[in-house]
A and B are shown apart, each in its own frame.
Chain A
């Protein structure tokens, strides 16, 4: 058994050796990010990572923040909440970051929140669900619009078209489920009646049975599809296939040009709530967001060769809010940074104009959303929204 003891010793040494590999950097401000770059949420994490890298480089090229360069440390949790928590612990304990911008999904964000709260490090989340900021946690903020806001915006548009009885068809993925729950909660307060609900799996290839059930409910005046990924594209195609006469609303989760490509001709007339980023070129020149979204779109497209997505935009906003807070605080102290993030006022970003407060760690209101309609294979801004 000497062999085994020898082996155990080797294993121990190897284990320790492996763990002592780490980054060593001097006099840089360390910002951490745990994103779902690979895995089922790579749709979110991939553009977020690219955005953060592009802009950290740009900021550093211009001299950094408060005279110091930024060091971005990105870890990929592959969509697993468990991994996210491990990497969050690593960022806090090992890399000793001063702030964190990340958390692509609600699940990973919720799993990481406690770590940053316990360590007193500000955490700007890039996930959608409202539980991240309601109830307000001292150290947790977020940049994307909540799914509750998306529902409210859609319902407001429905009311303006005198459509009050709707059907919901949602994906069973986290995004779809969360938004569906919010829509169900918000509906009675806005006078919308949900006559029938159906759902589908995120990788299903045909939703015609569910849509047939919806079509058979005569009182339905519009259909809302909370969902994300490829599901909404297929729902939209099936919608046209079945020849629905009533309008279809998508969620902000599909806000990318790719949706129009995938859904094809079926996307005509579909409406959805979206941030100004999607219609950068169609904004009136008086819109304060126009220069910001145009610059971001151009930079992102040039550096990655891909069209912008709102998820990347949320990462941009998160980073900029953090950087501006650091500049106002004139320090890299986590507590001072947190206080300044909370004092963000009038920040013009890709998602809207942000005004945070001690009770509002998101800072967006319904005006941050516009209602878009797809026309001629492109986005069109519905006037007055």
Chain B
């Protein structure tokens, strides 16, 4: 019994430990900021990974949900006078609702249709965010009032590091539990063979829809955090390039590996910081990396390493 528990929660504990000891090496607010960004994107990527790795679908407009979450905590307080944390929930609910509305008809179709639909959705959201200047501040964006929790103003990279880190670990544990639950197992069955899953009586479309909604909520929360942390938001947070970056993080880390989500986020957030001299080549490198991984290392970094270790035993 204890052995089973240990295996299940081990990755979560490992990650929690990592989150806690990492700041020992931080020498300035800059590193805390990087950490916050990594956790925020890793959170979004965990959600996307559930969709891509387990439900086998692609969302090419996932940054749109990020944008919804981000702008909810901007528009809510500024235009409606609502408190930030409430708007965060509101944004998550809105994202989930949109995912449900769009996903329901689309997920009944087989193949790449969700990819295309999310592409259109993401672009549509980005266009609306750019054009509705009265609400969103237009292409130049708008400033976001800081988060106030129980009267205390959350400011500074250090405070956000712990909040984002804690939220990420929660999201991580939730995702893990989801995968071990009946829904998760049903999804793995679908991923392996949709026909077999159908035969077993699994409602494939409904399970996929549930995962799509969940992934949208993850992205929305991440987006809200991003806006609150930065104190400023622009429409490019919901743009096509951002969506592709999220997918690249999933691909790099490993589709279907939740730990891989963290790795993918780390690579794509930290690498541009390290390779600043190569910024001219950044786009070319990103494209090349995505291609190479999808051709040769389709499982991604973490599963490949895990397989290598397993092979050695």
| Residue positions of A touching B, CB distance < 8 A | 1, 3-8, 11-12, 15-16, 18-19, 21, 37-38, 75-76, 78-83, 85-86, 89-90, 92-94, 106-107, 110-111, 114, 129, 172-174, 177-178
Are B29 and A93 closer than 8 Å at their CB atoms? yes
Minimal Cβ-Cβ distance residue in B for A171: B139
Contacts of B130 in A (CB 8 A): 172
Are B18 and A8 closer than 8 Å at their CB atoms? yes
**Bound form: Cα–Cα A146–B22 in Å:** 45
Is B133's CB within 8 Å of the partner chain A?
yes
Is B109's CB within 8 Å of the partner chain A?
no
Contacts of B270 in A (CB 8 A): 15, 18-19
Given contacts A1-B10, A8-B18, A38-B283, 14 further A-B contacts (CB under 8 A): A1-B6, A4-B259, A7-B259, A37-B280, A38-B279, A78-B279, A92-B30, A93-B30, A94-B28, A106-B140, A172-B130, A177-B133, A177-B138, A178-B140
Contacts of B266 in A (CB 8 A): 11, 15
Contacts between the two chains (Cβ within 8 Å), count: 127
Q: What are 5 inter-chain pairs, A to B, with CB distance below 8 A?
A: A3-B310, A8-B18, A80-B234, A80-B236, A129-B140
Are B131 and A172 closer than 8 Å at their CB atoms? yes
Minimal Cβ-Cβ distance residue in A for B231: A114
Q: Tell me the smallest distance from the CB of B62 to a CB of chain A, in Å.
A: 16
Interface of A is mostly: helix
Q: Tell me the smallest distance from the CB of A20 to a CB of chain B, in Å.
A: 8
Contacts A1-B7, A90-B273, A94-B30; A85 near B283 (Cβ below 8 A): no
Are A174 and B17 closer than 8 Å at their CB atoms? no
**Bound form: Cα–Cα A297–B190 in Å:** 64
Q: Tell me the smallest distance from the CB of B289 to a CB of chain A, in Å.
A: 15
Are A110 and B232 closer than 8 Å at their CB atoms? yes
Contacts of B153 in A (CB 8 A): none
**Bound form: Cα–Cα A12–B259 in Å:** 13
Minimal Cβ-Cβ distance residue in B for A73: B276
Which of B143, B230, B305 contacts A82 (CB under 8 A)? Answer: B230
Are B237 and A75 closer than 8 Å at their CB atoms? no
Contacts of B157 in A (CB 8 A): 89
Contacts A3-B309, A89-B29; A19 near B34 (Cβ below 8 A): yes
Q: Tell me the smallest distance from the CB of B28 to a CB of chain A, in Å.
A: 4
Size band of the interface chain B makes with A = 35 or more
Are B22 and A12 closer than 8 Å at their CB atoms? yes
| Residue positions of B touching A, CB distance < 8 A | 6-7, 10-11, 14-15, 17-18, 21-22, 25, 28-31, 33-34, 37, 130-131, 133, 138-141, 143, 157, 226, 230-234, 236-237, 259, 262-263, 266, 270-274, 276, 279-280, 282-283, 302, 305-306, 309-310
Contacts A15-B266, A19-B273, A38-B282; A4 near B14 (Cβ below 8 A): yes
Which of B11, B232, B280, B305 contacts A85 (CB under 8 A)? Answer: B232
Which of A4, A15, A78, A81 contacts B282 (CB under 8 A)? Answer: A78
Are B309 and A6 closer than 8 Å at their CB atoms? yes
Q: Tell me the smallest distance from the CB of A377 to a CB of chain B, in Å.
A: 32
Contacts of A8 in B (CB 8 A): 14-15, 17-18, 259
Minimal Cβ-Cβ distance residue in B for A114: B231
Minimal Cβ-Cβ distance residue in B for A5: B14
Contacts of A173 in B (CB 8 A): 139
Are A5 and B10 closer than 8 Å at their CB atoms? yes
**Bound form: Cα–Cα A114–B155 in Å:** 12
Minimal Cβ-Cβ distance residue in B for A85: B230
**Bound form: Cα–Cα A79–B282 in Å:** 13
**Bound form: Cα–Cα A178–B274 in Å:** 34
Contacts of B231 in A (CB 8 A): 114
Are A107 and B310 closer than 8 Å at their CB atoms? no
Are A107 and B282 closer than 8 Å at their CB atoms? no
**Bound form: Cα–Cα A270–B21 in Å:** 63
Are A38 and B280 closer than 8 Å at their CB atoms? yes
